[in-house]
Structure 1
């Protein structure tokens, strides 16, 4: 087995565990948190604008934590892709390009940012507006926005999951 430098192994650890954590963190909001918000409305008569405010707090925490983690993971996977490029001392012939797999892992993980901007901004903005608006806003509209956000967020969580899968394959072929 080829001996890899400590920096390479650290980058693997950061990339793989960071992408896995990110996928779980994002997906957990859609599988646990937002269903609990909707249940609070249905069973406990929590007003929809309170649901929107709670969603906004979760959103702000995720917005503060997830992009920096995605950036660190992307840098790690980028370093790994550069380290195994053809001509480098760590390059080895493999049926799949390790450089391409690590590069794909980096792109997929960082993809949460453009995905959010392109596909989720309108829903995010509408929910933020509901959170700051009067309590008379349409309950069903708020709940539908939370449901839409939940679906989009679950899809977004698949990006770092695909990244960790690509990184794992590249690490062990």
Structure 2
């Protein structure tokens, strides 16, 4: 039987599950969605206008769904860090420096927000700006748009690794 209260164990499970879900969802965009969009363009001759419109839909859905999951996940990690901070009853049960580990898990999980702004901002702006300004046909833009989508895919993998690392750090903090 665990000496930790059920709320602590539930937060551990929710934090780890949230981090894993978030990482998988984000990374799947790079591993499945972007290659599918690019294949639609090259194999089925889907226009760049349609391609960027589809990207916008993916982007908007992700923008709506990922931050709340990241916030919920980070809130669980924050609760865990607060619960095992020095001087609390659970601090004597928890591994040394586990509060710091959970705090790092918080930072890594919410790190998707600054990563999106700093690392991906220009690529997002390029793709979304192109889609907004397109009149249906533009010559010579295929290489640029395809390149932006490929770059977005790689940068997005980096973003997906942040909550994965947060989840792994939380596991180490709890061991």
Q: TM-score, normalised by structure 2?
A: 0.93
Q: Could you tell me which of 143, 147, 151 is aligned with 2:146?
A: 143
Residue 133 of structure 2 corresponds to residue 125 of structure 1: no
C-alpha deviation, 1:11, in angstroms:
1.1
Structure 2 counterpart SS, 1:148: helix
Residue 164 of structure 2 corresponds to residue 158 of structure 1: no
Q: Cα distance 1:126–1:95, how it changes in 2: closer, same or farther (>3 A)?
A: same
Aligned match of 2:114: 114
Aligned residues: 172
| Matching of residues 9-158 of structure 1 within 5 Å | 9-92=9-92, 96-132=96-132, 133-137=134-138, 138-158=141-161
CA deviation digits over 1:135-161, x for unaligned, max 9?
A: 323111111110111011011101001
Structure 1 residue ranges without an equivalent (≥5) = none
CA distance in 2, matches of 1:110, 1:39: 32
Structure 2 counterpart SS, 1:4: coil
CA deviation digits over 1:60-103, x for unaligned, max 9?
A: 00000000111111111011001011111111377651111100
Give the root-mean-square deviation of aligned CA atoms: 1.4
Aligned 8 A contact 2:84 2:94 in 1: no
CA deviation digits over 1:5-34, x for unaligned, max 9?
A: 121122112111001000000000000000
Farther off after superposition, 21-30 or 48-57: 48-57
C-alpha deviation, 1:125, in angstroms:
1.2
Structure 2 residue ranges without an equivalent (≥5) = none
